[in-house]
Amino acid sequence: METIGYSSAITRRSFLRTTTTGTAAAIVGSSLFAEQEKRGPGSPYKRTNTDWLAKCRFGIGIHWTAQTVPRSGSPKPFQEAVDAFDLDGFVKAVEYAGADYVLLTSAHALQKLPSPNPVLDKILPGRTCKRDLIMELADALAAKGKHLLVYYNHSCNHNQDPEWEKAVGYHAPNKQRFAQNIMDIVGFMGERYKDKIKAWWFDSPYSLDSRGPHNSVTTEMTGFQFPWEEFTVVAKRGYPQRLVTYNAGVAQTFLYTTHQDFWAGELVNLDAPAKSRYLDNGLQWFGWTCIEDRRWVQSRLDTPIPPPLYTDEQVIGFVRTCNKHRAPMTFNVGIYQDGTMAAESVEQLHRLNVALGRWNLRIECRTS
């Protein structure tokens, strides 16, 4: 068990191819959502305010999934792994690193959720958990003043989860049932977690829609168009201010729909920091890249997570440049099945946090 500098020890897309507070706030939220539902998917979309996201400096993303393995030995079955996840240790590591938010992967290559979801249970039993790791993590982060963003993948990618693709209706002649199933899963989560999920990060739209820069559709669409605008409405259930983004691929700015609020910003390096808060397509800038393992998921048995890819100077310089434009950067950190993140990566982010604190202090002194 490794220690990474605090009092107690803390024990994606190529990967898919290879393996409010208070009654008044509640009333306002319900009113906004009702208005949104009334307008319908064909109505003009008003993007949700992203000021809270723009104030964030950097966050931690994790691909802790049903395919994540331990540091050594055989992996536990998914439900057992969820039960054993060391949430306290994980949150301590996040706090030590200084991240402003966590971007949690809920479902990735395999459609399995670390939480209850009766909609998914009805479609294909045995893919959910009694422990609600999403709820527990959201509450633990909120207690530390940090946000939870959630990644979701429909898991219909290159037959990685064939049982799920069949059950959910991805290959059925009529794709309406498939679309409704995915919307119902996400809609249930939105209503269950409400403002605990501040934003959705939706991946692999290119497996549902061939119009973008990538075409990974592996079923006959027969003229079917996935209802992105309706999906956005559903994704905001329970919390109309929740942000939504659809990932079009590495560094791609293509919009499957204008009904989204921030850029997914998948990156493979630190070569192109933000140049402004907003992209030319109008979306809030947001970035996400791997800090050490470009496979995104720690899925190789008895193999340590590699060291960070970048020097401190590279990481600090990139984030500072982004933050000048009110653009947050997310680092995907390798994580083992027990919930322990890569120690070297956490330490590097801790040093980033310290450097940003000193830098922000100097800026404040100059402007005061």
C-alpha–C-alpha distance, residues 171 and 353, integer Å = 47
- pLDDT (0 to 100) of residue 25: 39
- pLDDT (0 to 100) of residue 42: 59
- pLDDT (0 to 100) of residue 222: 87
- pLDDT (0 to 100) of residue 73: 97
DSSP element (H, E) containing 193? helix 176-193
Q: Which residues of the chain have pLDDT under 70?
A: 1-42, 358-368
Please report, for the chain, the start and end positions of each structural domain, with discontinuous segments joined by +: 13-367
SS3 327: coil
- pLDDT (0 to 100) of residue 44: 83
- pLDDT (0 to 100) of residue 40: 53
CA distances to 29, 44, 256, 300, 332 from 240, in Å: 6, 16, 20, 39, 27
Which CATH architecture is the domain 13-367 placed in? Alpha-Beta Barrel (3.20)
Residue 233, both tokens: 């409405």
Q: What is the pTM of this model?
A: 0.88
